[in-house]
Structure formats: structure tokens, C-alpha cells
């Protein structure tokens, strides 16, 4: 049977069980879009290609499946680059399909030609330019395999128009490549070494990272923690891997980490890092990070091991198999951490938590932290929270408690403003029955505000919570603290009326200006079927605390004026 490139593309996507594409059409992909009429696949038409890639990314984060995005050549492709870099930094499996000029035109500066494989070479896990229709199906298969295996990441496939248009005799089923077995090294020896260290520890601590979520290992991680009763701190990307309501939960570490988390890391004698790559926002001054600790490091990416901090015991593998082996060894040898031995440590942690919980001072203005607290209570901690970037992101991480993996979607490595709304769209498409909220700043939300049209188009009940401080808040905070209060270009007072703007898009708009409004507006927003944008006019110069000045040890935290109140 004769098949076109477009038909083969869809066949290959179906083989990968893709049921949703996030995309935007254009000249070089018109054949694909035309073929779409005959294919049973859902296409979400975004309003900007950056929205498409972030939505595919949000879909992947929320569902644990590969997100797929389809855009045209040239500007369509370049518009995805920020989103690709974002997925790359956070190891999110997405496949990006870009149109390309015909193979004969490539290299001739054709209309809407860019060398997108060249441009994205350093921000994709891998990319392909398909030169022959015969390679198409195999390439798509390989792209998905690469995106989801090992340390996941974005893979781009560039599709020249003539390849898509050409026809091939394609009824011979192509040989299926067996999915590459992910080789696991012998885990027993390092696991025994790790256990030996942990069982001798007087002040053991675990840091959990995004690798546990990406590796779908939260369950086995939790049972491991339960067996040994070791306190668990988390990176930004690890939120949700371990319940934020568990007594062993010790909070987020890093620049805006909790006091007790940063103290715990700084004083522990054995640190077990699971699915963590030790970003500089986590370690701050590396030489002062966990200075007393022997390190056990589990990560799928060999590059992460010994990159920032030397490990005493390391395992290059998915977190799941390593933790399973640990659990088995613990059971077989009936190991426990003697309660007496770590009693002081548990007591110390409780004391730190009591001394300096995450807190803020109230006054007559709406405190952004309060909005997040209320959001947490009213959603009973069961919402999927996407965030933008800046203070809003940190407050969401600090004041929402995440009990489940895949529920906190945030641009961790790249810190890309404009991520939250499209990511929430992707998450809502993946999880139609969940409450999905984008926690936003008034700056960030304007970076992909056009996606409100997408939300309405598909009737997605996404809720946007704007913590509107009339500033590029996080930058303003740094200017206040580190640049002598000189607020250079961070004033956002000139802003749209977000309620009217929402309504113009067909989204319900709500506004709160006083603390007494917060609960009512949130309730109304959450209970209204369909999309809602809520504008919370918050304390303009509220800061995120604790804060560790970049390059300082984690113990050197500033708390603003909350300590006085505590």
C-alpha cells in the first residue's frame, strides 16, 4: 500500500500511543495538518509555539508520558527553543516535530528556513533531520525511545516538506526495534555500602530530587524511608516525591529552602541524594555544602555523579531499582536504624522546625503566602500546581504541601517566565478531572497570556492565581537586598486590568484586594466551572524568606523581619 510521509508520521505516533499533539500550523507542515482530518488524534491549537512546547512539557510532567508538539519551520521552530531548553534542563521527555523546507532547499536560506537541529543541538537530548521517507518511521520510534529512556529529555525531529509529501510502498511492517534494556549495574555491593553508612549515622538525611519523580519511584522511595525513618529534604524538582505532610518531611533545601532543611543538610553526617544533580541553587557555596557528611548518590546520569560533590558511594541507575535493592537488603537482613542512635537528631530537627517554621507577618494587605496557604486548604492539597517564575514560584513551593508526585510543575533549571499557564494547559489536558492551578506573578503571566484563548477554546477549567505585586518581584527583591534598593526597571505598575483582560478572553475574572476577600475569591474561583483568572493584589514589597545570598553557605540565611515576630 502506498503511504505518504504524513500517514507514516501518524502511524508512528500511534505506535507510541500518542493521542494528543500541542501545535500550531504553517507552510511546511500543511500536509501533516491536512492528513490530521483523517486521523483519530487530538490536536490542541495553542496561540504561540512557546505555548505548545510548554504545554507538551506540562502534559509530560503531569502524566509521566512523553509530550508531543508540532510546529512549522523557521519562526515556528525558533519559538519553541525556550521551551526545549526548559525541558532539557528539567529532564522532561518531549518530542518536538518541526517542519522544514524541502531537502533540496536546505542550506539555501529558503523562506522560513532555519537550521533548527543546529540551533537546538545543545539543548536537546538528541535531534534528527529526516532526509528520506524510508527513515521516517524508525526515526520517530528512536526519538520517543531516547526521550523517555535513561535521563529523559527533549528530542527534536526536523521534517522536510518533501519527505512528508513523498510516497512510499509501506505495507511491509518495519522491524520493531526492541526497546533498549536499561542496563542496571550490580547494585548489591553499593547498596550494602550505602546501608552500612546509613546504619552507622547519627545524623542521616535524604535529599530527594526530580529523578525520583521522573523514574516513577515515589512509592518505593516512600517505603524505603519508612523502613529506616530517615528525615527527607527535597530539591525544588523533588517536591511531591515524598509527602509534604509526613512527620519525616524536612522541607526544601537551597537558596529559598526552609531553615530546618538548610540546617539539616549543613549538620548531617550521612547524606543520601536520590535523583539529585546538585544545582547551584541547591548547594549555594559548594565547599560549605553538607560539610560533615559522607555522600551516597543515586542518579541515572553518570555526568551528575562527582560533578559538583564527590560521592563516597554512588550508583548510576534509575532510582527505582536502587531503592528496591535497598529495600530488599533491609528486609533480608532485618535492618533498622537504632532509634536511640538518631533520637537526638530527630529532636534537633523538631526543634529547628519549631524555632523557625516557614512564616510571614500579617498586616492589612494580602500576603501572597496567605493566598497559597488558603489555596492549599481549599484544594485540600489535591490540586496540580503549575507555577510561573520568581517569588510566586518560591511561595508556591514553600506554602503548598505536595503529597503526590507529578503535582508540582515548575521551571526549575531554566527558570523560564511564561511556563506556568501553558504547562497548566498541558496538565489539564492530561488530567481532565484534576484541579489545575497556575500560580503566577503579574510579570510572568503576561509572557504567555495569549494561551487564555486556548484555555477557552478547549473548555479547560484551568485556574490562574496571580500574586499581583506590581513588580518583577524576585528581581526587585534582589535589588532591595543586594543593589541598595535601586529598583531598576522592575516596576510593573503599568499593567492590564486582569479581570477585564480575562473577560475579554472569555475567562471569568475575579479580584481580591483585602485579606478578608482571599478565601471567598478562591472559593468562588475554584467552584466556578471552567477557567478563572484571579487577581490577588498583594503586598507589593513582600520578600521570599529565608534567602541565602548566592555564593554563601546555606547556613547564612536572612529572614527579613519575620524573626522578630516569631
Partner 1 sequence: MTDLIKERAISIIVNNKPDVLARIAGTFSARGFNIESISANVTRNPVITKIIITTLSTQETIDKIIKQLNRLVDVLDARKISRSQVCRREMILARLSMPEDRQAAVEELVGAHSGKVVSRESGSAILEFTGDKDTIEEVLNRLEALGMEDLTRTGTVFMERGKP
Is 474 among the residues known to form the active site?
yes
Residue of 36, 474, 492, 533 marked active site? 474
- Of 276 and 384, the one with the shorter C-beta distance to partner 1 is 276
Site for partner 1 in 129-148 (CB under 8 A): 129, 146
**Residue 469 contacts ligand TPP per CB under 6 A:** yes
**Residue 236 contacts ligand TPP per CB under 6 A:** no
User: What distance in Å separates the CA atoms of residue 248 and residue 205, rounded to the nearest whole number?
Assistant: 10
Smallest gap from Cβ 490 to ligand TPP, in A, equals: 7
**Residue 442 contacts ligand TPP per CB under 6 A:** yes
Residues 6+ apart with CB under 8 A from 294: 197, 269, 270, 271, 312, 313
Residue 146: which of ligand TPP, partner 1, none does it interact with, CB under 5 to 8 A by kind?
Answer: partner 1
User: What distance in Å separates the CA atoms of residue 200 and residue 303, rounded to the nearest whole number?
Assistant: 28
Phi then psi for 80, rounded to 5 degrees? Answer: -90, -5
Phi then psi for 553, rounded to 5 degrees? Answer: -65, 150
Where does this chain touch partner 1 (CB under 8 A) — which range of 39-47, 297-305, 367-375, 423-431?
A: 297-305
Residues 6+ apart with CB under 8 A from 172: none
- The answer to whether the CB of 536 falls within 8 A of the CB of 509 is no
Residue 117: which of partner 1, ligand TPP, none does it interact with, CB under 5 to 8 A by kind?
Answer: partner 1
Residues 6+ apart with CB under 8 A from 404: 218, 240, 243
Smallest gap from Cβ 246 to partner 1, in A, equals: 34
Residue 522: which of ligand TPP, partner 1, none does it interact with, CB under 5 to 8 A by kind?
Answer: none
CA neighbor of 125 nearest in space, from 159, 91, 97: 91
**Residue 415 contacts ligand TPP per CB under 6 A:** yes
Cross-strand partners of 68: 95
Is 111 among the residues known to form the active site?
yes
**Residue 473 contacts ligand TPP per CB under 6 A:** yes
E-assigned strand segments in 435-478: 436-441, 463-468
Smallest gap from Cβ 360 to ligand TPP, in A, equals: 14
- Of 110 and 415, the one with the shorter C-beta distance to ligand TPP is 415
Establish how many alpha carbons lie within 13 A of residue 90's alpha carbon, considering only the half-sphere containing its beta carbon.
30
Q: For the stretch 130-143, what's the b/e string if a residue is b when 16 or more beta carbons lie within 10 angstroms of its beta carbon?
A: beebeebbbbbbbb
Residue of 16, 35, 49, 388 marked active site? 49
H or E element that contains 262? helix 259-267
Residue 370-409 contact track with ligand TPP, rule CB under 6 A, x = bound: ------------------xxxxx-----------------
Residue 471: which of partner 1, ligand TPP, none does it interact with, CB under 5 to 8 A by kind?
Answer: ligand TPP
**Residue 307 contacts partner 1 per CB under 8 A:** yes
Query: Which residues have a catalytic role annotated?
Result: 49, 111-112, 161, 474
> Residue numbers of the site for ligand TPP (CB under 6 A)?
388-392, 415-417, 441-444, 467, 469, 471-475
Amino acid at each position: 500500500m502506498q503511504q505518504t510521509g504524513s500517514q507514516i508520521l501518524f502511524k508512528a505516533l500511534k505506535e507510541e500511543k500518542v493521542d494528543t499533539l500541542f501545535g500550531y500550523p504553517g507552510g511546511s507542515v500543511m500536509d501533516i495538518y491536512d492528513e490530521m482530518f483523517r486521523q483519530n488524534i487530538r490536536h490542541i491549537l495553542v496561540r504561540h509555539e512557546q505555548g505548545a512546547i510548554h504545554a507538551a512539557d506540562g502534559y509530560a510532567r503531569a502524566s509521566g508520558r512523553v509530550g508531543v508538539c508540532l510546529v512549522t519551520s523557521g519562526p515556528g521552530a525558533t519559538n519553541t527553543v525556550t521551551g526545549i531548553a526548559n525541558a532539557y534542563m528539567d529532564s522532561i521527555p518531549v518530542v518536538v516535530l518541526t517542519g522544514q523546507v524541502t531537502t533540496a532547499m536546505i542550506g539555501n536560506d529558503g523562506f522560513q528556513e532555519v537550521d533548527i537541529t543546529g540551533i537546538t543541538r545543545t539543548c536537546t537530548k538528541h535531534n534528527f533531520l529526516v532526509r528520506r521517507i524510508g527513515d521516517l518511521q524508525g526515526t520517530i520510534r528512536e526519538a520517543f525511545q531516547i526521550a523517555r529512556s535513561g535521563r529523559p529529555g527533549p528530542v527534536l525531529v526536523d521534517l522536510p516538506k518533501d519527505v512528508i509529501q513523498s510516497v512510499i510502498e509501506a505495507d511491509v511492517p518495519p522491524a520493531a526495534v526492541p526497546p533498549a534494556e536499561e542496563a542496571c549495574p550490580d547494585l548489591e555491593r553499593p547498596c550494602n555500602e550505602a546501608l552500612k553508612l546509613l546504619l552507622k549515622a547519627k545524623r542521616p538525611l535524604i535529599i530527594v530530587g526530580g529523578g525520583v519523580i521522573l523514574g516513577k519511584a515515589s512509592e518505593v522511595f516512600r517505603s524505603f524511608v519508612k523502613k529506616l525513618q530517615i528525615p527527607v529534604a527535597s530539591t525544588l524538582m523533588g517536591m511531591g516525591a515524598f509527602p509534604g505532610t509526613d512527620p519525616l518531611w524536612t522541607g526544601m533545601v537551597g537558596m529559598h529552602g526552609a531553615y530546618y532543611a538548610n540546617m539539616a543538610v549543613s549538620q548531617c553526617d550521612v547524606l543520601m541524594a536520590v535523583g539529585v544533580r546538585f544545582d547551584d541553587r541547591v548547594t549555594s557555596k559548594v565547599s560549605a555544602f553538607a560539610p560533615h557528611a559522607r555522600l551516597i548518590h543515586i542518579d541515572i546520569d553518570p555526568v551528575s555523579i562527582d560533578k559538583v560533590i564527590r560521592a563516597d558511594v554512588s550508583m548510576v541507575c534509575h532510582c527505582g531499582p536502587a531503592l528496591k535493592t535497598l529495600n530488599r537488603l533491609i528486609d533480608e537482613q532485618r535492618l533498622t536504624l537504632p532509634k536511640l542512635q538518631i533520637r537526638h537528631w530527630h529532636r534537633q530537627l523538631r526543634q529547628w522546625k519549631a524555632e523557625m517554621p516557614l512564616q510571614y507577618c500579617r498586616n492589612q494587605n494580602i500576603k501572597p503566602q496567605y493566598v497559597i496557604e488558603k489555596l492549599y486548604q481549599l484544594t485540600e492539597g489535591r490540586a496540580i500546581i503549575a507555577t510561573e517564575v520568581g517569588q510566586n514560584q518560591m511561595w508556591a513551593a514553600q506554602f503548598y504541601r505536595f503529597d503526590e508526585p507529578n503535582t508540582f510543575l515548575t521551571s526549575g533549571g531554566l527558570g523560564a517566565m511564561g511556563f506556568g499557564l501553558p504547562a497548566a494547559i498541558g496538565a489539564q489536558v492530561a488530567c481532565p478531572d484534576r484541579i489545575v492551578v497556575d500560580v503566577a506573578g503579574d510579570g510572568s503571566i503576561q509572557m504567555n497570556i495569549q494561551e487564555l484563548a486556548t484555555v477557552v477554546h478547549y473548555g479547560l477549567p484551568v485556574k490562574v492565581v496571580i500574586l499581583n505585586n506590581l513588580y518583577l518581584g524576585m528581581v526587585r527583591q534582589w535589588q532591595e537586598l543586594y543593589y541598595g534598593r535601586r529598583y531598576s526597571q522592575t516596576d510593573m505598575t503599568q499593567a492590564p486590568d486582569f479581570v477585564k483582560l480575562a473577560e475579554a478572553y472569555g475567562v471569568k475574572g475575579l479580584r481580591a484586594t483585602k485579606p478578608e476577600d482571599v478565601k471567598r475569591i478562591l472559593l468562588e474561583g475554584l467552584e466556578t466551572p471552567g477557567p478563572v483568572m484571579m487577581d490577588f493584589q498583594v503586598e507589593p514589597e513582600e520578600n521570599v524568606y529565608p534567602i541565602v545570598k548566592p555564593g554563601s553557605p546555606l547556613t547564612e540565611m536572612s529572614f527579613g523581619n519575620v524573626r522578630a515576630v516569631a
